[in-house]
Amino acid sequence: MTDRTLVPQTAAEAAASLQACANERTSLAFEGGGTHTIGRRDRDGVVLSTRGLRRIVEYVPEDQTVTVEAGVTFAELSRVLAERGQRLAVDVAEPDRSTIGGAIAANAFGPRRMRFGSFKDLILGVGLVRADGVPVRAGGKVVKNVAGFDLSKLMVGSHGTLALVTSATLRVHPLPQATRAVRLTGLAPDAVWELVLEMRSRHLEPVAVSALGRASASSRYDADVAFEGFPAGVDSQTACVFEIARERGWSVEAVDPASARDGDARARTAGPLRVRGTVLPSDFAAIDALAIAPLAACLDDPSVCAYPALGIFFVAGKPKMPQRAFDAVANARACIESGGGSLVVEDAPRMPAEIEPWGTPPPSIRLMREIKARFDPEGRIRSGAFVGGL
């Protein structure tokens, strides 16, 4: 099989492409904007790109729902939604390249997941093409629906190993009338967590808290807190954060919300080594000491970005000495997994074989293998690229 890239222009063409691959027993991988692919990139089979699937199929502003084809980019969708004062409340680092289908497959999210959830919470239905080329639908177009098993949520984070997502219906949100961001600088990791708890106890409802750090030995973070809503609400909440900071002697300033977002995106796209950790939120300070700081110390110009309320962090940078960095990844992973979390290597230059991207499969891997075997019995779609060889 020679390398080929297929670029279907409609869902029907995509189905025909998959059907043809099924007939020829060709392996294939799906590609959106190419910003989220984790793990092995298949070199031996066909690549099916969704970039031809670019229609916004149906937008119903009154219902706050939109149905789009998989290849629509975030930038494009945002533009259309903004015309009606709405948005898709998912942040991605590269909106011009990231496609909706790819982001669903990768379970992409940013700091505002704290308020709006992830794609799992926003996806209402999907159009799929199965490995055997059969087009199917699951879920629906209404915001509430329990008819049948909801396969759309199963597609979120499945990394293109179950079926091709050709379209999705998503819940969208109104653009906020007012946005404010506040930056608290130089916080130690336990102060970051204290900030989260203190805001909660005062009933503040930030849409995002992201802590950006240069986690050198001193492990200090700049925490950006964002509020969205109506002016009275965001102003009073911002004032409250200033008060929290004053009481504790933390330095605090109002910042442009856009700059807070940019810092976040920069930290998450730095490289070439990039890892993502997920832990119990209250473990953040301990994990910083045991896993984040030691790993960052092995990197030149490291960037660390954490969403402390979610228990999620990202570390990126250039390994000073590759082997040392890989050892630090392995140690961090062992430490995080022992607490029930996970560490995913999103990208790495020349990764040694013993560091695979995903880490130890969870106990339910047997069920996952059964699902994969039912959806892709011949193991042709990106097989082996996901957790535990799924």
Partner 1 sequence: MPVNPQPFAAIVGAENVVGAPSELRTYECDGLTGTRVTPALVVLPATTREVSRCVKLARDLGMPIVARGAGTGLSGGAVPSAGCLVVGLSRMKAILEIDVANERVRVQPGVVNLDVSRALAPLGYYYAPDPSSQSVCSIGGNVAENAGGAHCLKYGFTVNHALGATLVLADGSVTEIGGPVLDCLGYDLMAAVVGSEGMLGIVTEVWLRVLRLPEKTRTIFATFATTGQAGDAVSAIVARGIVPAAVEMMDGLAIEAIVSATGVDWPLDAGAALLIDVDGIAAEVEETAHETIALMTACGAIEVRSPHDDEQRALMWKGRKGAFAAMGRISPNYYVQDGVIPRKEIAAVLREIAELASTSGLRVANVFHAGDGNLHPLVLYDARVAGEEELAERVGGEILRICIDHGGSITGEHGVGLDKAVYMSELFTDDDLETMNMLRCAFDPERALNPGKVFPTPRLCGDRPGPFALTSFERDGVAGRG
Is position 203 an interface residue for partner 1 (rule: CB under 8 A)? yes
* Smaller CB separation from partner 1, 43 or 366: 366
Using rule CB under 8 A, residue 144 touches partner 1: yes
Residue 299 or 309: the one with the smaller Cβ distance to partner 1 is 309
Strand pairing category for 178-187 and 273-278: unpaired
- Contact segment (CB under 8 A) with partner 1 among 89-97, 152-160, 245-253, 317-325 equals 152-160
Give the bridge partners for 181, in sequence order.
226, 255
Q: Regarding beta strands 208-214 and 299-307, do their DSSP bridges make them parallel or antiparallel, or are they unpaired?
A: antiparallel
Region near partner 1 per CB under 8 A, out of 280-288, 298-306, 324-332, 346-354: 280-288
Applying CB under 8 A, which part among 144-152, 217-225, 296-304, 324-332 lies near partner 1?
144-152
Within positions 4 to 63, which residues make up the interface with partner 1, using CB under 8 A? 60-63
Among positions 210, 219, 342, 383, the unique one binding partner 1 when judged by CB under 8 A: 342
Give the one residue of 300, 338, 354, 363 binding partner 1; rule: CB under 8 A: 363
Among 216, 262, 280, 323, binds partner 1 (CB under 8 A): 280
d(CA 124, CA 119): 9
Residues between 110 and 129 that touch partner 1 (CB under 8 A): 117, 120-121, 128
Nearer to partner 1, 1 or 134 (CB): 134
Q: Please give the structure tokens belonging to residue 105.
A: 């497959």
Size of the site for partner 1 (CB under 8 A): 89
Query: Which strand (E) or helix (H) includes residue 24?
Result: helix 11-24
Ranges of H-type helices in 210-364: 231-248, 257-269, 284-287, 293-297, 322-338
Q: How far apart, in whole angstroms, are the C-alpha atoms of residue 164 and residue 51?
A: 13
Of 47-55, 92-100, 242-250, 362-370, the window that binds partner 1 (rule: CB under 8 A) is 362-370
**Contact status: 379 vs partner 1 (CB under 8 A):** no
Query: Which residues ranging from 282 to 321 are in contact with partner 1 (CB under 8 A)?
Result: 282, 310-312
Distance CA 210, CA 263 (A): 10
Question: What are 74's strand-pairing partners?
Answer: none
What's the closest the beta carbon of residue 132 comes to partner 1, in angstroms? 7
Q: Does 75 bind partner 1 (CB under 8 A)?
A: no
Token pair of 59 as six digits: 């937008």
- From 76, 132, 327, 356, residue interacting with partner 1 (rule: CB under 8 A): 132
Extended strands (E) in the chain: 4-6, 28-31, 46-49, 56-60, 65-69, 86-87, 123-129, 135-139, 164-171, 173-174, 178-187, 208-214, 220-229, 251-255, 273-278, 299-307, 312-319, 342-347
- Does 252 interact with partner 1 (rule: CB under 8 A)? no
Q: Is 368 in the site for partner 1 (CB under 8 A)?
A: yes
Using rule CB under 8 A, residue 232 touches partner 1: yes
- DSSP-derived pairing of the beta strands 28-31 and 46-49: parallel
Closest CA to 81 of 106, 103, 56: 56
What's the CA gap between 250 and 246, in Å, rounded? 6
- Shortest Å, Cβ 158 to partner 1: 6
Is 204 among the residues that bind partner 1 (CB under 8 A)? Answer: yes
CB 36 within 8 A of CB 14: no
Tokens of 71: 């290849």
**Min. distance of Cβ 4 from partner 1 in angstroms?**
25
Q: Which residues, 78 to 107, sit near partner 1 by CB under 8 A?
A: 85, 107
- Strands 4-6 and 46-49 come out as parallel
Smaller CB separation from partner 1, 123 or 328: 123
According to CB under 8 A, which one of 33, 176, 308, 319 is a site residue for partner 1? 176
Segment 321-340, which members bind partner 1 (CB under 8 A)? 339-340
